[in-house]
Structure 1
Amino acid sequence: MSFDFIVRGGMVVDGSGSAAYRADVAVAGGRIVEVGALPNADCPELDAEGCVVAPGFINVLSHAYETLQQDPKGLSDLYQGVTTEVFGEGYSLGPVTGRCEEIVDLAPRSDGVRMGWPRLNDFLGHVEMKGIGPNVASFVGAHNLRAAFAGADDRPLTAAELEGACRLLADELAAGALGVGSALLYMPGVYASTEELIAYARVLAEHDALYISHIRNEAGGLHQAIDEVITIARASSARAEIYHLKASGRDNWPLMAGAVSMINDARDDGLALTADIYPYEAGGTSLAASIPPWYHDGGEEALLGRLATPSIRDEIKTAIKTSSDSWENIFLDAGGAEGVLLQGDPNSEVSGRTLAEVSVMRGDADTVDTLLNLVVAKPDLEAAYFCMTDENIHMALRQPWVSICSDAETPSTQSPFVDMPTHPRAYGSFARVLGPYVREGVLSLEEAVRRMTSLPAENLRLSGRGSIEIGAWADLAIFEPDAVQDHATYRDPHNYATGMRHVVINGRIALRDNEPTGILSGRAVRRGQ
């Protein structure tokens, strides 16, 4: 048999969790065709001596749908061995139809980037046709389903609207969508009731698709929010996953052990419940997310109108400063202004400074006034919220049902990204687990690889991905285990990880000897296909 190339002399960690073994891997026609001690052959070779040869990594929660349109190589993840990006936390690039068009503009921006298509499959087909580095797959955003009928309004869907949303979902699932992704902290997803989500999950169960959720509260209401996911899974018989499992806020850190126990108990009861995490002590989202969700009713313009009304602005200030069980107060969870690091344009006066530092710099008497003034000036201003603890990250990583995500874009260290605010997780999530966390003994190397490969491939029903075996797609991450290291920091995030020698995507070499080749061999990947 002729081969396109052989990966020669590495230690294979096949994604199953089994012990590493020395073997060569032969690739032909985009697939793995032989694994073992292979004789010399008349074909090119990739030197893997001193390296681990693993399946390419699957990023369960990626926001690279914009950056990959700007630069399809996806370099921040390519340097970490990621070969598949999965979208759809709350919002997806399709379907954008009906009243959802009030929120999302279907027209391309001046730089050619589009943020919406009439159907999700239209987006996936478009990026594959244009050429893309990694494989891409997506959930249907629960935002999209409700916004198609209710826009940004804070109200329940009518029975007819919910039926229409379920039909829209069924069409997308038939075309290969992975399931439904909800984000219950953000507008308009926050307005969805448990009953609405159960209705979607019942459709998912019919298609063996996954319900995945940024749960309603990751802080003081963590256990109640996990109970909602369990209720949805039990009522619908759908499989479910929790995005970026965490206990947010110092006072809530002790809740993590109970959260893990709840999930383990549900699994013991027969529910297919899993989770993923990013390995950082700070989360990242907009500064506007510090404002209670009911003030976002009607969208950004309505929020800014409320902030311009003195009496309502005072209400908002009081709400931000007050603990409440009715919403997740990420400002207080971060310990206040000292725990909020602003991530604007590096040349701006606020970038890389805490909210407290900016407040002093501006001479504001109240840090919440500073927060609101910044939101008015730039509603999409990003921030890192230091809400988590490394001990809880370790606890989550030790659970065999937890996979890895970045919850981030795929920028590069070149224009137009070098001035883009981002979280270090965009450049370091997978390298941080595979390198420091493995070397510190939090996970074995084999188990770390399983969490990034076969576990998410099985949960997402990505056929032929996530393993090194004959017939599987040739997505490969070939790395020097002692050299894998993340280098991105909160104040200087645009730094590539190191230690990855080669990366192969669908049988084509995307990274050779730590240098991108520019080959775009990614595909649109659909559930079960």
Structure 2
Amino acid sequence: ERIRGWSRFGDWLAAMTEKGVSPNIGSFLGGGSLRKYAMGMEMRPPSADELATMQRVTAEAMEDGAFGVSFALIYPPSSFADRDEIVEISKVISRYNGIYITHLRSEADTLLEALEEAITVGQRANVPVEVYHLKAAGKRNWHKLSSAMERISEARSQGVDITADMYTYTAAGTGLTSVLPPWAAAGNKLYENVADPAMRAKIKAAALHPDGTWEAMAEMCGVDGVMPTGFMKEENQQYVGKQLSEIAAMLGKEWPEAVMDLLVSEGQRIGTIYFAMSEHNLRRQLQQPWITISTDAGGLDPVWAAPTGPYHPRAYGTYSRVLGKYVREEKVLPLEDAVRKMSSALCDRLGLRDRGQLREGFYADVVIFDPETVADRATFTDPHQLSVGVRDVWVNGARVLRDGAHTGATPGRVVKGAGG
């Protein structure tokens, strides 16, 4: 009943725990959802009334407990938002001591310019900034990570409250739609456009010869580095785990045409793996004091998730991969710092002052793992594998994992930002 009756962010938060959950749940307000609510998929600046609507809804969400607002500036409709619009929304976030969290407008050719935009938003709106899953994508851009990390450290030294998080894999995961220009989805007409011969020709030309104004993932990774996995229809299962170049050859078409045919067939974005990052850069990022660990994924149970097809292994292995591969095996960072990046540093950033540490009076959110055996098992070819070496977990003092097995307990509750 509640799901059908959502009218505020708080209703959604309450619905998430209504039937019982094992973990705690908190959230940012999605900037894309915010924009869509006010003005749909329009590719233009908001009117004064539309901006006022977004500011009002932002304030309501912050009062309901949102941590802040997230803008994924590489994806429509957030990609249609300009800097001034983001600043005006962020001023509302700031009033409630929230966070502006952003997927940078570029993680590739214009990474440094996109980072500068995020810093500018922080300065103009006087709001803390979080860059989610910091990376330099595409081999030709790997060298830019040094400058990006230096710029973040410099901004912090100048009083800008900016931090970043990361996941521990050299491949990204998003929709197959990311190989097409964002304007293909304007007006919420993506699937209509990719089925229209005239629009297909324009989209194909833009995909084959990107103009530098959008993140062309096929160009960044090469079609051999693009692996679609999220097919739902039986007739398309033959393409699971194959490179885009292979799929195009199987269909006897150029890759943009193959992509558009698949999107028409599936009627959904098609989850895709993009091999774009550097292992060397990943290790350097882990050593930054202002970096925390994130998954950039939802929580999955292999019992129900495996039948739906492949998924990015980060959903299963991110944290155990840090502890096993990067702490124990490669000694990239000490155990204490790795644990901090997964616990107290995150809670401090989100304003959860009574969580994240083993202290009297704090909520008992506790993980017991064996530092000698903890490891990830999920891979890109066999992703639905649980990690090993984690023995017990307590959430709010209730045991949800005992000797590596779920107890069935659902003690999770809503955790709120500073305004809630």
Sort the TM-score into its range (normalised by shorter chain): over 0.9
Residues 204-261 of structure 1, C-alpha deviation per residue, up to 9 Å, x if partnerless? 1111110000111111010010000000000011000001000111111111111111
Tell whether the 8 Å contact from 1:344 to 1:350 is kept in structure 2 after alignment.
no
Tell whether the 8 Å contact from 2:34 to 2:57 is kept in structure 1 after alignment.
yes
Q: CA deviation at 1:295?
A: 1.2
Corresponding residue of 2:122: 233
Query: Aligned letter for 2:257?
Result: D
Tell whether the 8 Å contact from 2:177 to 2:270 is kept in structure 1 after alignment.
yes
TM-score (norm 2): 0.95
For 1:485, what is the secondary structure of its paired residue?
A: coil
Corresponding residue of 1:271: 160
Counterpart selection for 1:303 from 190, 193, 201 = 190
Query: Aligned letter for 1:454?
Result: S
Q: Distance in 1 between matches of 2:73 and 2:257?
A: 26
Q: CA deviation at 1:419?
A: 2.4
Which runs of no fewer than 5 residues in structure 2 stay unpaired?
none
Larger helix percent? 2
Counterpart selection for 1:428 from 311, 317, 321 = 317
For 1:138, what is the secondary structure of its paired residue?
A: coil
Q: Distance in 2 between matches of 1:152 and 1:437?
A: 41
Q: May I ask how many residue pairs the two structures share in their alignment?
A: 414
2:105 aligned with 1:216: yes
| Percent identical | 37
Q: Distance in 1 between matches of 2:138 and 2:247?
A: 22
Query: Aligned letter for 1:176?
Result: G
Structure number with greater Rg is 1
Corresponding residue of 1:91: none
Tell whether the 8 Å contact from 1:503 to 1:510 is kept in structure 2 after alignment.
yes
Q: Distance in 1 between matches of 2:220 and 2:260?
A: 17
Q: Following superposition of structure 1 onto structure 2, how do residues 1-400 of structure 1 map, counting pairs within 5 Å?
A: 117-299=6-188, 302-335=189-222, 337-345=223-231, 348-362=237-251, 364-378=252-266, 379-400=268-289
2:370 aligned with 1:480: yes
Q: Distance in 2 between matches of 1:116 and 1:241?
A: 32
Query: Aligned letter for 1:465?
Result: R
Tell whether the 8 Å contact from 1:197 to 1:232 is kept in structure 2 after alignment.
yes
Q: CA deviation at 1:345?
A: 4.7
Larger strand percent? 1
Q: CA deviation at 1:128?
A: 1.9
Query: Aligned letter for 1:144?
Result: S
Q: CA deviation at 1:457?
A: 0.6
Tell whether the 8 Å contact from 1:124 to 1:137 is kept in structure 2 after alignment.
yes
Q: Distance in 1 between matches of 2:5 and 2:85?
A: 23
For 1:204, what is the secondary structure of its paired residue?
A: helix
Q: Distance in 2 between matches of 1:467 and 1:523?
A: 18
Query: Aligned letter for 1:192?
Result: A
Which runs of no fewer than 5 residues in structure 1 stay unpaired?
1-106, 109-113
TM-score (norm 1): 0.76
Cα distance, 1:416–1:446 mapped onto 2, change above 3 Å: closer
Corresponding residue of 2:333: 443
Q: CA deviation at 1:178?
A: 0.4
Tell whether the 8 Å contact from 2:374 to 2:388 is kept in structure 1 after alignment.
yes
Query: Aligned letter for 2:53?
Result: G
